[in-house]
Amino acid sequence: MKSPRQSWKSWALLASLCSIVVVAVSPAAEKEEKLNVLFIAADDMNCDLGAYGNTQVKTPNLDRLARMGVRFDHAYCQQPLCGPSRASLMTGLRPDTLDMHTLAHELRKKNPDVVTLGQLFRQNGYFSARSGKIYHYGNPSQIGTDANDDPETWDERHNPAGIDKTQEENIVRYGPNRKPRKDGLGISMAWWDPESGDDEHTDGMVAKRVVEWIGEKKDEPFFLAAGFFNPHCPYVAPKKYFDLYPLEEITMPDLEEAKKDLEDVPPMAIQRDTKNWPYYFADVSVEEARKCKQAYYATISFVDAQVGRLLDALEEHDLVEKTIIVFWSDHGYFLGEKGLWYKRKAFERSARMPLIIAAPGLAEGASTGKPVEMLDLYPTLADLCGLKGPENLEGASLRPLLEDPTGAAWEKPAVTQVWHNPGAWGYSLRTERWRYTEWLEGEAGRELYDHAKDPEEITNLADDPALAETVAALSERLKPFVRLKPYKRK
């Protein structure tokens, strides 16, 4: 039988060994608990994706990502314009709060103390870096520069420039930009399908650098952002991606039917589009628009291939189970529907964009139809990574929907705004069933679409007496979000 002293010595030895184990294991365990973030952005990408049920558009890697996580079928931007949309997403604040509604480089000028998403991760010991476009860049004019980037967000920044920038003279142009001119491609009907390799293009270079970072930083927590410029115009990708879409298989909406869709729409809703309707530019033919649509789809598949390279890198370094993967676009895009092209509209096709999130331990191969906002990403990533974000974030964590995509309680609507000038602006509220839009708080018109019956938003029901109570209720729900500063309204 052991004496009390011997028993104490045995206990002390055991305690000492336990202490040694704790000291040896705890730091590694703590390190493993920090989840990485791979933050993947596309530019001007709508939901014409295989991952979203479009059988024509080939996106095998986005399909793969969707099987790994949750596809958000109704995700909406705060403003369908690159600059304010991206600033809102990266700060978790609405354009009205930031006082940003244009492409001007003014995030820190107007909000010097804001803590951006990447900055939050930097402050918490993460390596934060981006390659390509996360904040606004003129495309292709500012490719290869820092453009409207925010230096405080990142530890490292990479600004590649491929042949889509360095050989602009080879790009085929339609409309008023048929002849090359300075800054003539930022908004254009233009395309190019060179016989080229992926890494000759800016987006291929973006993927290559992020793949390198994944390997270099695999043993430390990272927030890595891959900002792809496609499918933003001009639509440029290697020819092999164009070959996926035979031109004879590209269909265009009937223009007579398209024009009828706009008969009951307030003029302000399409004021930027009516002068040269259809397709925004004068003298663009249906066949030229068809070629641009083919090119748009080709650039989607080009981006998809780069996403595949990033996913392969995570798998190669055994990081899939340690990494939250987010794929997003800054807004949607019209390709001839209603005879419209581009963005900057409050319709579903402009306000809605793809969002896929794969997070370790959460739902896989699922989708949700709940309306969510892109400013929800900031609180979501902070929540999933155990970080304390700023108190003034205006979104909500998507964790409930990532845990239970169909059964979670989620009543928050999505709000998108459009601002052209002090005399032309509006707000649009999206619930699970309705899209309700007011122009100048209703003075310049209203729109109401029933997505249970009319997903293409063909019939404006705002003046239907039978829905007067619905209009009144949705108007009340929208009011708290109308916070445009006085100098930006007449």
d(CA 215, CA 232): 29
CB 484 within 8 A of CB 419: yes
d(CA 446, CA 125): 48
Question: Tokens for 16?
Answer: 């000492």
Encode 296-309: b = buried (16+ Cβ within 10 Å), e = exposed.
Answer: bbbbbbbbbbbbbb
Find residue 130's DSSP bridge partners.
Answer: 157, 225
Continuous segment of H or E residues that includes residue 358: strand 352-358
Catalytic residue among 74, 101, 136, 331: 136
d(CA 152, CA 108): 10
Sheet of strand 235-236, all strands in order from the earlier edge strand to the far edge: 172-173, 190-192, 235-236
d(CA 374, CA 376): 5
User: Phi/psi at 142 (nearest 5 deg)?
Assistant: -105, 10
CA atoms lying within 13 Å on the CB side of residue 392: 11
Encode 234-253: b = buried (16+ Cβ within 10 Å), e = exposed.
Answer: bbbbbebbbebbeeeebebb
Q: Which residues, 6 or more positions from 120, have their beta carbon under 8 angstroms from its beta carbon?
A: 378, 382, 387, 389, 390
DSSP state of 6: H
Catalytic residue among 47, 74, 77, 82: 82
User: Sign (positive/negative) of CA torsion 404, 407, 413, 417?
Assistant: positive
CA neighbor of 245 nearest in space, from 297, 180, 188: 297
CA neighbor of 43 nearest in space, from 226, 180, 229, 219: 229
> Does the annotation count 136 as an active-site position?
yes
d(CA 462, CA 475): 11
User: Sign (positive/negative) of CA torsion 311, 42, 190, 290?
Assistant: positive
> Does the annotation count 292 as an active-site position?
no
CA neighbor of 103 nearest in space, from 43, 191, 164: 43
CB 227 within 8 A of CB 132: yes
d(CA 331, CA 375): 12
Which residue's structure tokens are 């010097």? 112
Residues noted as catalytic: 82, 136
